[in-house]
């Protein structure tokens, strides 16, 4: 499975996305603890619809949009 590199600008974008960032943090909890800070980690259970394929595609294109609407 392709594992994307997380740069500074993507970290900031993920944090701005809120609950989606929390969902993404589930996959990288051990390597990228920065994402799971603040309020995002608490909304994970309610936002489990985001799948890995959408997450990797979002990172690949660097789109700053909410993918939770695809659920």
Summarize pLDDT for 6-28 with one digit per residue, the tens: 556 665 665 565 555 555 655 55
Whole-number pLDDT of residue 12: 63
Q: 21-64: per-residue pLDDT in tens?
A: 555 655 555 444 444 444 444 344 334 444 444 555 555 444 44
Token pair in block for residue 19: 């609950």
* DSSP notation for 12-55: HHHHHTTHHHHHHHTTSTTT-TTTTSTTGGGGGGG-TT--HHHH
Q: Is the pTM of this model over 0.75?
A: no
In the chain, domain spans: 8-62
């Amino acid at each position: 499975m392709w594992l994307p590199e997380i740069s500074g600008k993507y970290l900031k974008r993920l944090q701005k996305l809120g609950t989606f960032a929390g969902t993404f943090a589930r996959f990288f909890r051990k390597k990228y603890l920065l994402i799971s800070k603040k309020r995002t980690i608490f909304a994970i259970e309610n936002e489990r619809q985001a799948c890995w394929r959408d997450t990797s595609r979002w990172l690949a294109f660097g789109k700053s949009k909410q993918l939770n609407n695809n659920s």
